[in-house]
A = this chain, B = another copy of it.
Amino acid sequence: MTDDLRINGERLISDLRDLAEIGGTPDGGVNRPALSDADLAARDWFAQRATEAGLEVRRDGAGNISAVLPAADPAARSVLFGSHLDTVPFGGRYDGALGVVAALEVLRTVREAGLRLPVHLEAVSFTDEEGTWLSLFGSRAAAGELTAEELAQPRGMAAEFNRRLEAAGLTREGILAARRDPAAVKAWVEVHIEQGTRLEDSGTDIGVVTGIVGIASYWLTFVGRADHAGTTPMNRRLDALLGVAEFLRQARELIANRFPEGVMNCGIVEIAPGAFNIVPARARLALEFRHSDPHRFEAMREALLSLALHVVEIEGLGLEVEQVGVHPPVMLHRDVLTAIEAACDALGLSSTRLPSYAGHDTQAMAAIAPAGMFFVPSIGGASHSAREATSDEDCVNAGNVLLHAVLRLASQP
């Protein structure tokens, strides 16, 4: 009966364009880091649009902001959906914004259609998904996973963090009290741009996310010996940087051969003492790797650390391993995946299942509710850049798939 319902595509595209002007940069990008004046203005824009649409607006203690279409029964559970309004510094106009604008448009569409649902519908924008201050700040606060210790150690300067919290009207007590009652959340759905080219390459409309990759990060310090780079014969040296070079080369082959669905990056190298004429005594390498399958993720961890040990043994070096963070893969909920795929089928859109290689609010929400998410194509895969782009047609698809997935999840109380 509701299979013919569609969102208002022009209204969604218009909203996206208006929103991109808040913090917009001359090159077409958006600079709207969490709790910046631009970010606060974007929240007010969202609240105003929701109010204009006859929706209820709620703000929680972590600065998460919701537009709500209540069910008749105040004790009903809620289906939540949305994303985030903040960007990385000098980011793009679709990352996060599309998910929030699509969620708002879904609520307007359902309200205008006069549908009576057995659950509350809530379109959410989470605070600081990009981690300007804290990784997945708002969604982890909603999931009850943010700690006072983390709040005491923001990524930026603590004094500036306090100023921005005050500007946003937030307190530490309020943030820690923002936890949602899991019993009251029926499901969570997020739509996001892919930030990659798998959909574009395969000509697929929708990517149904099976899980969020696990991410592990380590400092690997290869330890050799500082020597005079002139007088020490080559075969007498213990060059820490050569250990790094061998590790990088063999790790590349390891990932290609044994973990083709995983990814790895070494984004920082620090050498000590660090001079043209001194053999490197220490080379500190930032290692990060990701995999969506929990067993393969663990196998990858073991294989990479074993490789590092193998390399230092061959090269006569030492190795120091410092774990920075290990976040295991999050598998998303079958019921939500099924609802998204059924929506695609009903709309005649092609879909494929794939993991997400980036972190998203969905991984936090998965801790308290059946959670799922889907991607629409990113043109050229650009992300965290003014070059970020998604076609209007795909943005409208995002809204319609979200609409029908939500309606399926909202069909029972």
Contacts and interface: CB of A to CB of B under 8 A. Distances in A.
16 contacts: A196-B231, A197-B233, A228-B383, A229-B265, A229-B290, A230-B263, A231-B383, A234-B264, A241-B269, A245-B246, A249-B249, A265-B277, A265-B279, A267-B278, A267-B279, A277-B288
Interface string A201-237: 0000000000001010100000000001111111110
- The secondary-structure label for the interface of chain A is mixed
Contact of A244 (B239, B245, B264, B381): B245
Contact of A269 (B217, B271, B359): B271
Contacts of A180: none
- Give the number of copies in the complex: 2
A181 B269 CA distance: 50
B248 A234 contact: no
Interface residues of A, number: 55
A125 interface: no
A324 interface: yes
A230 B213 contact: yes
A230 B290 contact: yes
A396 to B, nearest CB: 23
A347 interface: no
A291 B264 CA distance: 38
Given A195-B231, A196-B232, A357-B230, A268 B264 contact: no
A358 B241 CA distance: 22
A384 interface: yes
Given A248-B241, A265-B276, A276-B286, A228 B271 contact: no
Interface in A242-290: 242, 244-246, 248-249, 252, 255-256, 263-269, 271, 273-280, 283, 286, 288, 290
A194 interface: yes
The 3 A-B residue pairs whose C-beta atoms are closest, nearest first, are A229-B265, A230-B357, A245-B248
A359 B231 CA distance: 10
Contacts of A271: 267-269
B265 A381 contact: no
A266 B243 CA distance: 12
Contacts of A233: 196-198, 263
A103 to B, nearest CB: 22
B267 A229 contact: yes
Contacts of A249: 242, 245-246, 249
